[in-house]
Amino acid sequence: MVAAKKCPDAPSFSLNANAELVLAKRYFRKDLEGNALEDASGLFRRVASAIASEEGKYEQSPYTQDDLAREFYEAMTTWKFLPNSPTLMNAGTDLGQLSACFVLPVGDSIEEIFDAVKHAAMIHKSGGGTGFSFSRLRPRDSRVGSTGGVASGPLSFLKIFNTATEQIKQGGTRRGANMGILRIDHPDILDFIKAKEREGDFNNFNLSVALTEQFMNAVENDEEYPLLMPGTNEERGRLKAREVFELLVQKAWESGDPGIVFLDRINRDNPTPDQGEIESTNPCGEQPLLPYEACNLGSINLARFYKEDAEDGIDWPELRRIVHLAVRFLDNVIDASRFPIGLITENVRKNRKIGLGVMGWADLLYRLRIPYDSQEALNLAEKVMGFLREEARVSSRILAGERGPFPAYASSIFARKGMGPYRNATVTTIAPTGTLSIIAGCSSGIEPLFALCFTRNVMDGDKLVEVNTHFEHALKAADCYSPKLMETVAAKGSVASLDYLPEDLRRVFVTAMDIEPIWHLRMQAAFQQHTDNAVSKTVNLPNSASVDDIRRIYRLAFELGCKGVTVYRDGCKSVQVLSTGDGAPGAGADSGLHTLPRPDLVYGFTQRVSTGHGMMYVTVNEIDGKPFEVFATIGKSGRSTTAKAEAIGRLVSLALRSGIEVEKVIQQIKGIGGEIPVFQQGKHGQIQSIPDGIAWVLENRYLASQHPDYRLNGLGKQHCPECDDTLVFQEGCHLCPSCGFTKCG
């Protein structure tokens, strides 16, 4: 590890319990035995000193390195500003890769495709996430001129990227996140839209369809639109735009995938069009980038700028100071970063894109007593983000005076319009802040709170009720607080239905599921108006939401000027409808379920499992690598136990032969308790019963590689693989509010 210069006179600071846990588990530098080499103060000193040391390259800087390190340290440890996770983890270390998001090109040749796979592996290893457009690849079954063969199409290569990601742990700790994008006019678009019909497929990718304005106009006018051959733009067929749009909506209703991005709108805001078109975004969609480009991100905690006697309740002068400090910090990060690929280093330093965003928005609204779903909140969102971007651009102009503009400035849209000069081609992005917001003790990004209270698992099976600080203070001020009420709110997650609480309190303290979808979208659009790049935001929907609801969201996102949209219907992963062979929703069990006949000869395996009733032998026979039937026998047990094992095996076999996915079967029988649990060797822990033992065999065989990062319980809730608490879906990614686990950084 590179020795970091000590940050002078570093003051002490307070750290909440969740932040301490997350920092110790994910951010502290450790030795080979896993022992921490630093504490929280040491981490922030390391980061502040490493980033401030870049200031010495610029003679016109108004700061000494020591003074700047002190200011950076103070901004981070008062939780007013935090950089993205790779900067916190790697600044001042030998790795030195400080950016979170990258986009790599995927060209239409074997050499280019596997170069992209190799480069993605290098980026994941260093702690970054990657975005790809597969739109350049020729469609399935088209001729390959060099060999006379036929192409296998984008989806076949997407599988290769997904499999490669399984083998590389991001930053040595977790698997990397990816974004896969395909244009709506690609000939294989229908296959792409249906790619995640089966849960577990492409589990290391977020998928989005790139919609064009031509397509959206064709949807509006109920017209056909052309499918175009990549590279030549030769027409390869036509589709009814509304039918394709309806398929998109249906799949989003079923599983949340794929999302959508508006490609023409993204490229209208491309500051350097002479360098090419933007084809893709980073994994959570908030950062459109050119091929071989990266962006380093940071977020300002708006909750820390509440000031009761100030205009709008916000300390605008202090916000201005922190914005300018954060822009300087992020520009220094570009100089400090060591990228794994030379082309990325070249493009990053050519355009010097940064992405300053916000977190703590919901907390600020709570303190101001403004409902999230109100026009007052939208007006304030536009004012805050407009102020932030304007001050960030002022700061970028100041840096350009000290250090020179970004090298590609002369050919940028800013030079053409007589704007600038700027040090950075972009300055604002609203990125996911899942773990950052836990460290800062605030709400995530611009999302509403997912729950006012939640129950957190702690050691020895105990549970601890975590309460939002502002909600707790409001309850005490209204003389409504009690531990029993907290338990009620933790169970419900919301106070919307608690009529005995004051109406104004229930109106202000709304949560994600209390808010109508239209307000989620309007809030995203309000922030997007003043964001150079894009906004990471999830439109959370109740399980009861209809296909019509999602259709309206998609259309309105286009009308309001969003650059993309992600929807997530609560529990949709667990209740995804059965589909017919062509992907259309089945009419139900009676019409869509057919039991396959048993061939004369099948092959399988037998697994021995210890149970409280003795040793159980589970035989699973397969067809085409998938489980087809299950037999369970227990030696030397009574007839009743033997009968139970046989009955469970028969019912599981019936489900599998009827086309029900093995994951669904596991969800139903895993964790069923018995009177004599026993410990099984390996990671599973206890085998609680005969059905739980069968679930263990099936899960180890068929799901170990599909879902390495989380599991589903019988109710369809996704659980954290590290602390077992329930994950929430926000900002385009699953997040554990207890320990900070997330696939998306």
Show the tokens assigned to 113. Answer: 């495709």
Pair 486, 623 in one domain: no
* Mean pLDDT of all residues in 668-673: 81
How confident is the model at residue 636, as a pLDDT?
Answer: 59
* Most confident by average pLDDT, 37-41, 485-489, 635-639: 37-41
Is the previous residue joined to 737 through a cis bond, with omega within 30 degrees of 0?
Answer: no
Which of the four pLDDT bands, split at 50, 70 and 90, describes residue 116? very high
- The residue from 510, 529, 556 where one domain ends is 510
- Three-state SS for 509? coil
To the nearest whole percent, how much of the chain has pLDDT over 90?
62
Pair 114, 250 in one domain: yes
How confident is the model at residue 403, as a pLDDT?
Answer: 98
Backbone angles phi, psi at 191, to 5 degrees: -65, -40
d(CA 739, CA 19) in angstroms, rounded, equals 9
Show the tokens assigned to 244. Answer: 């394709």
User: What average pLDDT does the structure give for the chain?
Assistant: 88
For residue range 439-448, what is the model confidence (pLDDT) as tens digits?
999 999 999 9
Which of the four pLDDT bands, split at 50, 70 and 90, describes residue 8? low
61-75, 82-96, 211-225, 670-684: least confidently modelled range:
670-684
* Mean pLDDT of all residues in 119-133: 91
The pLDDT of residue 34 is above 60 = yes
Which of the four pLDDT bands, split at 50, 70 and 90, describes residue 707? very low
Look up the domain containing 629 and give its range. 596-715
Pair 120, 268 in one domain: yes
* Mean pLDDT of all residues in 389-400: 98
CA terminus-to-terminus distance, the chain: 22
Pair 153, 262 in one domain: yes
Catalytic position from the list 286, 391, 661, 699: 286
Pair 600, 503 in one domain: no
- The residue from 215, 248, 281 where one domain ends is 281
d(CA 539, CA 664) in angstroms, rounded, equals 26
Pair 273, 129 in one domain: yes
Residue 320 or residue 10, greater confidence: 320
d(CA 705, CA 287) in angstroms, rounded, equals 29
Complete DSSP assignment for 554-623: HHHHHHHT-SEEEEEETTTTTSPPPB-TTSPBP--HHHH--PPPPPS--EEEEEEEEETTEEEEEEEEEE
How confident is the model at residue 277, as a pLDDT?
Answer: 96
How confident is the model at residue 680, as a pLDDT?
Answer: 59
Pair 505, 616 in one domain: no
Q: Catalogue the E-assigned strands of 30-173.
A: 81-83, 101-104, 129-133, 169-170
How confident is the model at residue 590, as a pLDDT?
Answer: 39
**Residue 479 belongs to some domain of the structure:** yes
**Residue 184 belongs to some domain of the structure:** yes
330-344, 531-545, 723-737: least confidently modelled range:
723-737
For residue range 293-351, what is the model confidence (pLDDT) as tens digits?
998 999 999 999 999 999 999 999 999 999 999 999 999 999 999 999 999 999 999 99
Q: What is the CATH number of the domain that holds 149?
A: 3.20.70.20
Q: Are residues 429 and 534 in contact, defined by beta-carbon separation less than 8 angstroms? A: yes
* Mean pLDDT of all residues in 506-533: 96
The pLDDT of residue 414 is above 90 = yes
Cβ partners under 8 Å of residue 607, min gap 6: 617, 618, 620, 697, 700, 701
How confident is the model at residue 601, as a pLDDT?
Answer: 81
Please confirm, yes or no, whether 699 is among the known catalytic residues.
no
Which of the four pLDDT bands, split at 50, 70 and 90, describes residue 177? confident
How confident is the model at residue 295, as a pLDDT?
Answer: 87
DSSP code, position 229? -
The pLDDT of residue 181 is above 80 = yes
**Residue 255 belongs to some domain of the structure:** yes
For residue range 354-383, what is the model confidence (pLDDT) as tens digits?
999 999 999 999 999 999 999 999 999 999
- The residue from 259, 281, 303 where one domain ends is 281
Which of the four pLDDT bands, split at 50, 70 and 90, describes residue 394? very high
Pair 600, 506 in one domain: no
**Residue 332 belongs to some domain of the structure:** no
Pair 611, 483 in one domain: no
How confident is the model at residue 538, as a pLDDT?
Answer: 92
How confident is the model at residue 147, as a pLDDT?
Answer: 65
Which of the four pLDDT bands, split at 50, 70 and 90, describes residue 729? confident
Catalytic position from the list 282, 301, 468, 533: 282
How confident is the model at residue 529, as a pLDDT?
Answer: 97
Pair 488, 617 in one domain: no
Please confirm, yes or no, whether 562 is among the known catalytic residues.
no
| Residue in the block written with tokens 């950016």 | 99
Number of structural domains found in the chain:
3
d(CA 196, CA 587) in angstroms, rounded, equals 20
How confident is the model at residue 623, as a pLDDT?
Answer: 87
Catalytic position from the list 7, 284, 572, 720: 284
**Residue 700 belongs to some domain of the structure:** yes
Q: What is the pTM of this model?
A: 0.81
Helix H segments across 136-288? 154-167, 189-193, 213-220, 241-255, 263-268
**Residue 399 belongs to some domain of the structure:** no
Which of the four pLDDT bands, split at 50, 70 and 90, describes residue 598? confident
Amino acid at 417: K
- Which contacts qualify for 630-635: CB closer than 8 Å, 24 or more apart? 630/656, 630/694, 630/698, 632/690, 632/693, 632/694, 634/690
Q: In the chain, count of helices (H) and strands (E)?
A: 25, 27
How confident is the model at residue 204, as a pLDDT?
Answer: 87
To the nearest whole percent, how much of the chain has pLDDT over 70?
88
How confident is the model at residue 633, as a pLDDT?
Answer: 87
How confident is the model at residue 745, as a pLDDT?
Answer: 56
For residue range 427-443, what is the model confidence (pLDDT) as tens digits?
999 999 989 999 999 99
Q: Are residues 126 and 95 in contact, defined by beta-carbon separation less than 8 angstroms? A: yes
**Residue 419 belongs to some domain of the structure:** no
Please confirm, yes or no, whether 284 is among the known catalytic residues.
yes
d(CA 199, CA 576) in angstroms, rounded, equals 9
Pair 115, 240 in one domain: yes
Which of the four pLDDT bands, split at 50, 70 and 90, describes residue 135? very high
Pair 498, 645 in one domain: no
Q: How many C-beta atoms lie closer than 10 Å to residue 691's C-beta?
A: 23
**Residue 566 belongs to some domain of the structure:** no
